[in-house]
A and B are shown apart, each in its own frame.
Chain A
Amino acid sequence: MTAAAASGPPTGPTFRRRLNKAVPWLLLAPGLLWLLVFYVLPVIQMFTYSISTGSIEAGFTLTLSPDAYIVALSKFGKQFLNSLLYGGAATIFAFLIGFPVAYSIAFRGGRYKNLILFLVIAPFFTSFLIRTISWKILLGDEGPLLGPLKHTLGILPGDFSLLGTPIAQVAGLTYNFLPFMILPLYVALEKIDPRLIEAAADLYAGRWSAFRRVTFPLALPGVFAGSLLTFIPAMGDYINAELLGNPQTRMIGNVIQNRLLVQNDYPVGSALSFILMAAILAAVAIYARALGTEQLTG
C-alpha cells in the first residue's frame, strides 16, 4: 500500500490478501441474505410460538414454557419412529436402486447421458397427485399387477391388498425421492476419471476390488449428498402416508399438518417441527462423522 499506486487500480499483496479473504463472503452473501430474511426470520418466529401460548386469532404470549415440547415428545413417539423407519427404508431402497442407475448413466451413458438423466427427472415435472393416482391404478386390488397374481396365477390370496399398507407407503416414498438420490450420485460418479480405474486394473485389482477401493470412495460425496437429499425430506413427508397408508403408519409430518391446520395448535405444531429438525441435524452430524468429515466440508 504505497502512495505510488494510488493513481491506478489498487494492487499489491495486501490488497490481494484482503480480496481473497473477502471472496468466500462475497459468494455467500446474496444466498445467505436471502435465507436469512426468508427462512431464518420466519422460523425464529415459529420457534417463539413453540414456547408461547395462544393462537393466531387470539395472539401469542411468550411464556417460555416447555409444555409444548413435553406434549410433543410424550404423545407422538410412534409417529417419530414411523418417520425414522419409513424414511430410512425409503432412503436405503432409493440407494439400492439409484446407485446402479447413476453408475450406468455416468460410465455407460455416452452421448445420451443427459437425455437419460433427463428421463430420470422428467416424471417429476408432472403433478405428484397424478403419479400417485397412477400408482394406485396400477397397484389396485384388482389392477394389472395384483389381479393376475391373485387370480390367474393364484400366488397371492384373494384378499391381499397393497394400498393402505406400509409397503405402499414406503414404495411411494422411494419412488418420489429416487431422483434426489440419482442426481447427486451421478454428479459425483461422472467426475471420476476413468483412468484411475484403468490404473487400478493395471495394478491387478479385480473389478470388484477396483470398485470397492477406487470408485466408491471417490463417489462418497455423492452418496452423502444423495442420502441426505432423500432422507431429510422423506422424514418430514406427510402426503405419502395420507394417500397410501393407514392410521397406524402415520408419520410426524401428518401430525404437524393436523396440529397446525385442523387444531390450530401452533405451539405443539412448532415444537414438533423443531424436534424433527433437531433430530435430523443430529443424524446428519453422525452420518458425516461416519463417512469422514471431508465429505461434510468437501
Chain B
Amino acid sequence: MTNELATPVSRRTILKGAALGGVATFIAACTGSKANPAASAAATPAASAPASADASAEPTAAASQVATGPLMFANWPAYIDLAGAAGDSGEYAPGSSPTLEEFKKQYGVDVNYQEKIGDNPSFVETIKPALVAGLNTGWDLIVITDWMASKIVTSGWVEKIDHANVPNCTANLADSLKNLPWDPGNDSHYPWQSGMTGVGYNAKTLTENKIAEPTKIADIYALPADKLSFLSEARDTFGLGLLKLGIDANPETITLDDLQKVADDIQPLVDKGLRFTGNEYLQDFAQKKVWAAFVWSGDLASSGGEDDRFIVPEEGALIWTDNMLIPKGAVNKYTAELMMNYVYDPRIAAQIANYVYYVSPVKGAAEEIKKLDPEAAANPLLFPTPEIVAKQHNFQALSDEQESKLNDLYSTLSGT
C-alpha cells in the first residue's frame, strides 16, 4: 500500500508524476538555435539529417570553439548501443557503437570509449586523488550514479556546462529529472539513463514450490531466507526496506531511526541465510539458488530467463539515474558537451535505449523507438506508465549523517 499520497506532496513528487511517461511528442527532434526551442511534432528520421546539421550549427554561436579529441569517455558496460547487428550488415566494424561512429563522422573527432566503470566507488576512488589535487583526471566525460554524482558536483569537481552548446539537452530533458536539489540548473550534469529497483522472481520456481507470486516487498520477506538475495547497493536495499515498512523512502523526511528499523527488520533474514549480491542474481535465478530478489529493472528486461519477472511492488519501487559529468580539468570539454548534446537527440536516444533497455531521460525517445522496435515502445520497464511513475521513489542523495549511518548498518548486516 502506498503511503506517498497520504504524506504532504513534495515538489519532487509532483515533478515525478509528470512527463516521464514519455508522452511529450511535441518537442523537436533537434532544436535549431536557442530562439526556437519547440518545433512541431513527429520528428521524422529524414528530419534528423538536416536537424543534425542544425545541431552542428549551434556550437558556432559560441565563437571559435573547436571539437578537439580524442574524447575520453568512461561509461558503464553495455550502456550504449553495440554494433553486433550493424557489424553483420557491414556498416560498422564489429564491436563499435553506431552512436559513437556517427558522432565521430559528424564532428570529425575520435572517441576513446572505455567501459571502465564497474561500480561507483571503485571508479571514483581512482580519480579522487587527482580531483583533490586539482589535476586532470584524464577523462573528459564520465557517467556516475545520482548519489555519487551529487557528491562530486557539491565538491566542485566538475566543469560547468556551457548551455549554449547543449540545446538538445535543455529542450529534451524529461521534466521529472529537472531541478534536482544538487544541480537545479543542470549546470553540471545531464542524465544518461535511469533505472528502477524493484522485486524480481522466477515464476516457474515459485510455482514449483507452491508459492504465490509476490506483489509486495513484504511477500518476499516471507520466503526462505536462503532463497532470497538483496542488493549490495545499500541505498537500494534500504530504500526498499523503508517502503516495505510503509516509510516514504525520501531522504528529506526519513530519520536515522527509520534506517535502524530497516536494519532490525532485515537482520533476522541475514541470520537465516540472506545474501547480498550485485547482479549475480541473474545467475542465481537461472540455477534456482534464488527464488526472489531485489533486482534492477534493466537486467531482467533485457536478459532474464523467460520465467524471470520484474514487478513494481505495491509499496513502491526505487528510481535512480546515471548522469554524465565532465570532470574538472577535462581537456576536451567542448567535445564532451557536443556528445551530451548528441545523445539527447531523440533518434539517438532511441537507438541507445533500444539496446540498453533502461529508462531514457530524453523526451521523444519513446516515439522514435517505435520505428526501431514497437515491442520496446510498449515495454513499461523502458517507458513507465504514469501509475508506475507515481510509485517511484528516489533514495539516492543522502546527507552525510544518513549515509554514514546507512553504511554502518549495512556493513553490520553484510558482515564487513
List the interface of chain B (C-beta within 8 A of A): 121-122, 125, 128-129, 132, 155, 224, 226, 234, 270, 273-276, 280, 283-284, 287-289, 404, 407, 411, 413-416
Contact = CB atoms under 8 A, between A and B. Distances in A.
A254 interface: yes
B115 to A, nearest CB: 15
Contact of B128 (A57, A136, A243): A57
B226 A161 contact: yes
B387 to A, nearest CB: 35
A247 B414 contact: yes
Given A141-B289, A247-B274, A258-B416, 15 more contacts: A56-B132, A78-B415, A79-B415, A161-B289, A164-B289, A247-B413, A249-B415, A250-B414, A250-B415, A254-B415, A254-B416, A255-B416, A258-B411, A261-B122, A263-B404
A141 B414 contact: no
Residues of B contacting A: mostly: helix
Interface in A100-151: 133, 136-137, 140-143
A121 B275 CA distance: 32
Contacts of A255: 411, 416
Contacts of A263: 404, 407, 411
A262 interface: yes
Interface in A178-196: none
A200 interface: no
Interface of A: 56-57, 78-79, 133, 136-137, 140-143, 159, 161, 163-164, 243, 246-250, 254-255, 257-258, 260-263
A38 to B, nearest CB: 16
30 contacts: A56-B132, A57-B128, A57-B132, A133-B283, A136-B283, A136-B287, A137-B287, A140-B287, A140-B289, A141-B288, A142-B287, A142-B288, A143-B287, A159-B224, A161-B226, A161-B289, A163-B284, A163-B289, A246-B273, A246-B275, A247-B414, A250-B415, A254-B416, A258-B411, A261-B121, A261-B125, A262-B234, A262-B407, A262-B411, A263-B404
A262 B287 contact: no
By Cβ-Cβ distance, the 8 closest A-B pairs, closest first, are A140-B287, A247-B415, A250-B415, A258-B416, A261-B121, A254-B416, A255-B416, A141-B289
Nearest to A255: B416
A243 B277 CA distance: 8
A56 B130 CA distance: 11
A251 B6 CA distance: 45
Nearest to A139: B287
Contacts of A141: 287-289
A255 B404 CA distance: 16
B128 A247 contact: no
Contacts of A133: 283
Given A164-B226, A258-B411, A263-B407, A79 B287 contact: no
A260 B129 CA distance: 13
A244 to B, nearest CB: 10
Contact of B273 (A56, A137, A164): A164
Nearest to A243: B280
A159 B208 CA distance: 13
A257 B416 contact: yes
